[in-house]
């Protein structure tokens, strides 16, 4: 579990056989907070630290992860990725709950620098009839873009595109500053909306007295 507050940038290079080596830039001492087996969000993708080498660490991504995220693109070129260590009990939650399980990819459609921020619009690049992330795109809702916790400022009714407003601190501390038009990004919808969606899919016949008791409701007046 993560919060979407990026701690450092890192360069990522493909080693072959689904393995990557990641070298933090060093704006924070993120490696000192890691151990073998720890979870780390790499551009919003939850991966496991497997080995340490001088100033770097290695991770392995499954074929499903490569197909669903931008890590598949990183097999070709070196690039910067956003890094965040997993949430610790008692830590502040300044963003929103991010699981590191990417729903799909989008791409940058427009980036406009205003006097106080950057307005960035993203759209779907999925070829499927139903974009996996679209049903979780709601105005003023939360979304993780390359692991960055952001609030949706505007979106269309179908969720095919949405705009976020990125403040200077976030923009300059993440790889959002390097995005080019049509460049792909990882997207993860708010986990709370997924649980609500799952609950609403239940048939009303399943809501029994036992179900209500198990979920904290009491028959006492």
**What's residue 130's pLDDT?**
47
Residue 200 is predicted with a pLDDT of 73
Q: Dump the DSSP string for 188-203.
A: EE-HHHHHHHHHHTS-
Q: Could you give the percent of the chain with pLDDT greater than 90? A: 57
| pLDDT of 122 | 95
| DSSP helix, strand, coil percent of the chain (3-state; round to 5) | 20, 35, 40
Which positions ≥6 away from 61 have C-beta within 8 Å?
18, 20, 45, 47, 69, 71
Average pLDDT in the 179-190 region? 93
Same fold, 8-85 and 104-200: yes
Q: Which of 175, 152, 190, 202 is nearest to 25 (CA)?
A: 175
Q: Is the pLDDT of residue 221 over 60?
A: no
Q: Phi, psi at residue 76, to the nearest 5°?
A: -105, -40
In the chain, the percentage of residues whose pLDDT exceeds 70 is: 86
Q: Give the residue among 61, 26, 32, 28 at the shortest CA–CA distance from 47.
A: 61
For 30-80, write each residue's pLDDT tens digit. 999 899 999 999 999 999 999 999 999 999 999 999 988 999 887 665 689
Amino acid 67: pLDDT: 87
Predicted local confidence at residue 118, as pLDDT: 98
Alpha helices in 63-221 (DSSP H): 63-68, 168-173, 191-200, 209-214
Residues 129-183: tens digit of each pLDDT: 445 567 788 888 899 999 999 999 999 877 789 999 999 999 999 999 999 999 9
User: Domain locations in the chain?
Assistant: 8-85, 104-200
pLDDT of residue 210: 73
Q: What is the pLDDT of residue 124?
A: 78
Tokens of 207: 């809501």
Give kind and range of the element (H or E) at residue 170: helix 168-173
CATH class of 104-200: mainly beta
User: In the CATH scheme, what is the code of domain 8-85?
Assistant: 2.40.30.20
Higher pLDDT pick, 143 / 104: 143
Mean of per-residue pLDDT scores for the chain: 86
Indicate the pTM of the whole model.
0.84
């Amino acid at each position: 579990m993560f919060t979407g507050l990026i701690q450092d940038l890192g360069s990522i290079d493909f080693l072959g056989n689904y393995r990557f080596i990641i070298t933090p830039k060093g704006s924070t001492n993120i490696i000192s907070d890691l151990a073998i087996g720890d979870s780390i969000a790499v551009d919003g993708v939850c991966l496991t630290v497997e080995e340490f080498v001088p100033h770097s660490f290695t991770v392995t991504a499954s074929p499903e992860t490569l197909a669903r995220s931008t890590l598949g693109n990183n097999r070709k070129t070196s690039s910067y990725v956003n890094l965040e260590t997993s949430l610790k009990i008692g830590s502040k939650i300044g963003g929103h709950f991010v699981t590191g399980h990417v729903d799909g990819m989008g791409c940058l459609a427009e980036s406009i620098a205003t006097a106080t921020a950057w307005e960035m619009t993203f759209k779907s690049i999925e070829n499927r009839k139903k974009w996996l992330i679209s049903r979780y795109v709601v105005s003023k809702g939360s979304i993780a873009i390359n692991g960055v916790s952001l609030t949706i400022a505007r979106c269309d009714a179908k969720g095919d595109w949405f705009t976020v407003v990125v403040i200077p601190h976030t923009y300059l501390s993440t790889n959002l500053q390097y995005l080019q038009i049509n460049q792909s990004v990882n997207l993860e919808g708010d986990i709370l909306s997924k649980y609500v969606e799952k609950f609403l899919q239940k048939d009303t016949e399943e809501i029994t007295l036992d179900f209500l008791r198990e979920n904290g409701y009491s028959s006492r007046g």
